[in-house]
């Protein structure tokens, strides 16, 4: 896996929406998606607007945003 990042730290800045490609800087429905694989120790992060993510999820799946 040479040339690939193995960084697994915390994402401290908002990522662009991986659905629309737009900025999430002021989005109230920003979500951070963490993707892992059982055979790997690395993680992949995606940022998204929850509304856009809900638009592409399979039936029965839904993202809800709870402000903390």
In this prediction, residue 1 has a pLDDT band, given cuts at 50, 70 and 90, of very low
More confident residue, 19 or 1: 19
H/E element holding 51? helix 50-56
- Mind listing the pLDDT tens digit for each residue in 3-61? 566 555 678 899 999 999 999 999 999 999 999 988 988 889 999 999 999 999 999 99
pTM (2 decimals)? 0.76
């Amino acid at each position: 896996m040479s040339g690939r990042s193995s960084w697994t730290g915390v994402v401290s800045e908002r990522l662009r929406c991986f659905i629309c490609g737009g900025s999430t800087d002021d989005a109230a429905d920003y979500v951070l998606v963490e993707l892992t694989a059982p055979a790997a120790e690395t993680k992949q992060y995606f940022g998204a607007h929850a509304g856009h993510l809900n638009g592409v999820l399979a039936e029965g799946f839904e993202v809800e945003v709870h402000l903390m």
